Amino acid sequence: MARGHEATIFCRSSYGAFPDFRVIELPNRALTNHGRTAGFATDLAAATHGRFDVVAGFNKMAGLDILYCADPPVRQPQSLIDRLNPRTGAMLTLEAACFGPQSCTRLLLLAEPQRQDFQRIWGMEGSRAAVLPPTIERTRAKPHLRNGETRIEMRATLGLASSTLAWLFVAGFPQTKGFDRIIAVLPAFPHVKVLCAGFDLADAKFSRLAALARKLGVGKQIVPLGRRDDIPSLMAAADLLVHPSRLDITGTVILEAMANALPVVTTSVCGYALHVAAADAGVVVSEPFDQSAFTAALVRANDAAQRAQWSARAAQYAASTDLYSGLDRAADAIESAAKKSS
């Protein structure tokens, strides 16, 4: 809209007021999530047909000119039961509408491994798919904080001695992002504190993680911080971002760390792990995940001189590589599609 266009948002439900654009709700009463998703796709196709210059969506469905896809491919059926599962069938049908050979939908993807996965499954025409640059907010890139008073003050606030090695873990879904893998290695790193942001370990839904920490006797090494809006300052205070994720289309926190000159240890399932390897800004643990390889990576990160090299390379890479314009390029693609249809 900042570019002078009118926008209409279609959704199943909405909350609050949106004075700058029109919102149209398309509710349906299907009993299952996949049923509601399929019903919304049908209703959207009817509501938008012939009425708009371009139809861009964030969920896979028929009738889209452009799909901005932040999801992995639907899990392919592995058995007869899978093939007979109505949810699997419905989600594959929606995915085929965008990625299948009959589709003309332009695909905006977020990471190269994601594109490769879809290409392997659907063999879509290469010209239809583009991998967007990352979308890091430039205001969150503050590498200078590592060398200033912010680092000293934040470490003091967190109760970290100057000699304490601090790992940072940031996640809303700690199990998926591998926090149990960090807990498992902590007995081998008694000198380390882990700063945990984005979740509350005391929450009952994370009881298994808390129980694991108690069982291994590492609870005192974990510094729970809950949800925070000062992540660049926490990155300045930390010595290493540890992100051993099990599933991550992108792993935006990895690039935020690099933009803040913080070295990274992560896993190759993360789409943005490619940037860590390209910059030589840390260690990427290959899949299938091996705990001993993860431990070895963290042992390397014990070396202050090694971390300093990684830090400098991360900052240099983030300053010279486009990690910021993804949303602008997506807007360019939507505008381009609108012009072609007019």
Candidates 209, 223, 148, 137; CA nearest to 173 is 209
Q: From residue 335, how far is each of 126, 328, 331 by CA, in Å?
A: 20, 11, 6
> Do 169 and 304 belong together in one domain?
yes
**195 and 279, same domain (yes or no):** yes
Same structural domain, 333 and 283: no
Task: Please name which of 78, 133, 90 lies closest in space to residue 252, comparing C-alpha atoms.
Answer: 133
Query: Do 182 and 167 form a contact (C-beta atoms < 8 A)?
Result: yes
pLDDT in the model for residue 341: 66
* Cβ–Cβ under 8 Å, residues 177 and 171: yes
Give me the number of domains the chain comprises: 2
Alpha carbon of residue 266 to chain centroid: 13
pLDDT of residue 338: 83
Question: What integer best gives the mean pLDDT of the chain?
Answer: 95
CB 281 within 8 A of CB 291: no
Residue 222 belongs to what domain range? 138-320
The Cα 328–Cα 74 span in angstroms is 27
Query: Do residue 113 and residue 244 come from a single domain?
Result: no
Token pair belonging to 277? 């390897």
Residue 280 CA to chain centroid, in angstroms? 20
Q: Which residues of the chain have pLDDT under 50?
A: none
Q: What predicted TM-score, i.e. pTM, was given to this entire model?
A: 0.92
Omega within 30 of 0 (cis) for the link into 190 = no
**Which tens digit of pLDDT belongs to each residue from 36-69?**
999 999 999 999 998 999 999 999 999 999 999 9
CA distances 326 to 137, 170, 274, 315, 331, Å, are 10, 22, 16, 19, 9
* Residues 182 and 285 reside in one and the same domain: yes
C-alpha to C-alpha distances, 86 to 39, 92, 140, 272, nearest whole angstrom: 14, 10, 43, 33
Residue 293 domain-assigned (yes or no): yes
Are the C-beta atoms of residues 325 and 133 closer than 8 Å to each other? yes
Give Cα separations from 203 to 13, 83, 96, 177, 224 (angstroms).
28, 37, 39, 17, 11
One domain, residues 224 and 271: yes
Domain match, 118 and 174 both: no
281 contacts 338 by C-beta, under 8 angstroms: no
Tabulate helix, strand, coil % of the chain (nearest 5): 45, 15, 40
Q: Are residues 207 and 222 in the same domain?
A: yes
Q: Is residue 71 part of a domain?
A: yes
What is the model's pLDDT at position 342?
60
On whether residue 2 sits in a domain, the answer given is no
Report the alpha-carbon distance of residue 325 to residue 322 in Å, rounded: 7
Same domain, yes or no: 179 and 315: yes
CA separation, residue 244 to residues 94, 105, 184, 270 (Å): 31, 34, 12, 9
CATH of residue 240's domain is 3.40.50.2000
Residue 128 is predicted with a pLDDT of 96
- Residues 274, 195, single domain; the answer is yes
Cα separations (Å) of 118 from 106, 108, 134, 135, 262? 13, 12, 19, 21, 31
Provide the 10 A C-beta neighbour count for residue 158.
16
176 with 279, same domain?
yes
Do 101 and 160 share a structural domain? Answer: no
Strand order in the sheet with 282-285: 222-226, 192-197, 165-170, 240-243, 264-267, 282-285
Residue 311 lies in a domain: yes
